[in-house]
Structure 1
Amino acid sequence: MNEQATILDKHGDVKVRLKGQVPGATTYTVCSRALARASPVLRAEMRHHRAANDKDAVLQICGSDDESLAVFLNIAHSRFLAVPRTLTVTQMHNLTTLMSAYKCTAMLAPWIDSWMPAAQGTVRRSDIFAMFWVYWDLGLRDELRKMAHRVVVELDTNEVAVQSTRLGRRSSKTTAVMDRLSQIRSRSLQALLATTSDVLERLLVLEVSPRWSRLGAVRGGTDPGRCRLATCARLRSLLQAAALWPLPEAADVRESVVEVYSKLAAAIGHDHMGCEAGRFWCRRMQEALNAELDLVGTLYEDYADVSEAVVSQALRG
Structure 2
Amino acid sequence: MCSTASKSLFGGPTFSFDSLPYRPIDQTVIGGSKMSSSCTVVVTEQVTERITELISSPTIYLDDSGDLRLCVGGDVDEYPQDFVVCSRALGRSSPVLKAMLFGGFAESRPAADDGGEWTVDLPEDSTAAMEIVLNIVHGHFNLVPEKLPLMRLYDVLTITEKYDMTVIVRPWARSWMQAVRHQTDNAHLLCVAWELGDAEVFETMFKKMTYESMIDLQGRLVFGHSARIWKPGPEGYNFPIDRIQYLRPPEVFETIAKHRQALISAHLDHFVVLYRCLKEGCRYMKGYYHSSSDAEECNSMLLGSLVRCLGKGKVDITMPNPCESYRGNIESLEKATSAVKLLTIHRPSPANQCLKRIEEELAKGAVTAAETKGEMVVVRPELRGYLDKQSQKTGVAIPA
TM-score norm. by structure 1 comes to 0.77
Q: For structure 1, which runs of at least 5 residues remain unmatched after alignment?
A: 211-221
Could you tell me which amino acid in structure 2 is paired with residue 283 of structure 1? V
CA deviations 1:152-205 (Å, max 9, x no partner) are: 111212325844354333x9x767333222222222222222243357689945
How has the CA–CA distance of structure 1 residues 231 and 284 changed in structure 2, closer, same or farther, with 3 Å as cutoff?
A: farther
How has the CA–CA distance of structure 1 residues 50 and 192 changed in structure 2, closer, same or farther, with 3 Å as cutoff?
A: same
Q: Find the aligned partners of 1:305 and 1:290 in 2 and give their Cα distance.
A: 22
- 1:310 has 2:389 as partner: yes
Q: Please list, as runs of the form range in 1=range in 2, the aligned pairs for 1:92-103 lying within 5 A after superposition.
A: 92-103=153-164
CA deviations 1:284-312 (Å, max 9, x no partner) are: 33233443xx23222xx445897x76333
Q: How many residues align?
A: 295
Q: Which residue does the alignment assign to 2:378?
A: 296
Q: Please list, as runs of the form range in 1=range in 2, the aligned pairs for 1:252-291 lying within 5 A after superposition.
A: 252-267=325-340, 276=360, 279-291=363-375
Offset of residue 144 of structure 1: 0.7
Asked if structure 2 preserves the Cα contact closer than 8 Å seen for 1:187 and 1:250, the reply is: no
Q: Find the aligned partners of 1:31 and 1:269 in 2 and give their Cα distance.
A: 74
How has the CA–CA distance of structure 1 residues 259 and 6 changed in structure 2, closer, same or farther, with 3 Å as cutoff?
A: same
Q: Find the aligned partners of 1:309 and 1:113 in 2 and give their Cα distance.
A: 15
Q: Find the aligned partners of 2:65 and 2:213 in 1 and give their Cα distance.
A: 50
Q: Find the aligned partners of 2:78 and 2:307 in 1 and give their Cα distance.
A: 57
How has the CA–CA distance of structure 1 residues 200 and 165 changed in structure 2, closer, same or farther, with 3 Å as cutoff?
A: closer
Q: Find the aligned partners of 1:117 and 1:227 in 2 and give their Cα distance.
A: 60
Q: Find the aligned partners of 1:118 and 1:38 in 2 and give their Cα distance.
A: 25
Q: 1:164 aligns with which of 241, 245, 256?
A: 241
Q: Report the secondary structure of 2:378's partner residue.
A: helix
Asked if structure 2 preserves the Cα contact closer than 8 Å seen for 1:192 and 1:289, the reply is: no
How has the CA–CA distance of structure 1 residues 178 and 243 changed in structure 2, closer, same or farther, with 3 Å as cutoff?
A: closer
How has the CA–CA distance of structure 1 residues 156 and 283 changed in structure 2, closer, same or farther, with 3 Å as cutoff?
A: same
Q: Which residue does the alignment assign to 1:219?
A: none
Q: Please list, as runs of the form range in 1=range in 2, the aligned pairs for 1:233-252 lying within 5 A after superposition.
A: 234-241=305-312, 242-246=314-318, 248-252=321-325
Offset of residue 63 of structure 1: 4.6
Q: For structure 2, which runs of at least 5 residues remain unmatched after alignment?
A: 1-51, 217-221, 224-237, 344-354
Q: Find the aligned partners of 1:80 and 1:162 in 2 and give their Cα distance.
A: 35
Q: Which residue does the alignment assign to 2:208?
A: 150
CA deviations 1:20-78 (Å, max 9, x no partner) are: 34332221111111111111111111123335436424223365521110111111112
CA deviations 1:76-110 (Å, max 9, x no partner) are: 11211111111111112111111111111122122
- 1:67 has 2:149 as partner: no
Could you tell me which amino acid in structure 1 is paired with residue 391 of structure 2? S
Q: Find the aligned partners of 1:313 and 1:228 in 2 and give their Cα distance.
A: 64
Q: Which residue does the alignment assign to 1:213?
A: none
Q: Find the aligned partners of 1:66 and 1:249 in 2 and give their Cα distance.
A: 47
- 1:14 has 2:68 as partner: yes
Q: Which residue does the alignment assign to 2:39?
A: none
* Range with bigger deviation, 61-70 or 147-156: 61-70
Where relative contact order (Cα < 8 A, 6+ residues apart) is larger, the structure is: 1
How has the CA–CA distance of structure 1 residues 206 and 257 changed in structure 2, closer, same or farther, with 3 Å as cutoff?
A: closer
More helix by share: 1
Q: 1:28 aligns with which of 76, 83, 89?
A: 83
- 1:191 has 2:266 as partner: yes
TM-score norm. by structure 2 comes to 0.62
Task: Choose 1 or 2 for highest CA Rg.
Answer: 2
Q: Find the aligned partners of 2:93 and 2:81 in 1 and give their Cα distance.
A: 20
Asked if structure 1 preserves the Cα contact closer than 8 Å seen for 2:61 and 2:84, the reply is: yes
Q: Report the secondary structure of 1:297's partner residue.
A: coil
How has the CA–CA distance of structure 1 residues 295 and 83 changed in structure 2, closer, same or farther, with 3 Å as cutoff?
A: same
Q: Please list, as runs of the form range in 1=range in 2, the aligned pairs for 1:72-151 lying within 5 A after superposition.
A: 72-124=133-185, 127=186, 129-151=187-209
Q: Find the aligned partners of 1:157 and 1:313 in 2 and give their Cα distance.
A: 37
How has the CA–CA distance of structure 1 residues 56 and 311 changed in structure 2, closer, same or farther, with 3 Å as cutoff?
A: same
Offset of residue 8 of structure 1: 0.9
Could you tell me which amino acid in structure 2 is paired with residue 234 of structure 1? S
Could you tell me which amino acid in structure 2 is paired with residue 82 of structure 1? L
Q: Find the aligned partners of 1:255 and 1:34 in 2 and give their Cα distance.
A: 51
Could you tell me which amino acid in structure 2 is paired with residue 256 of structure 1? N
Offset of residue 142 of structure 1: 2.2
Q: Find the aligned partners of 1:61 and 1:305 in 2 and give their Cα distance.
A: 31
Asked if structure 2 preserves the Cα contact closer than 8 Å seen for 1:62 and 1:98, the reply is: no
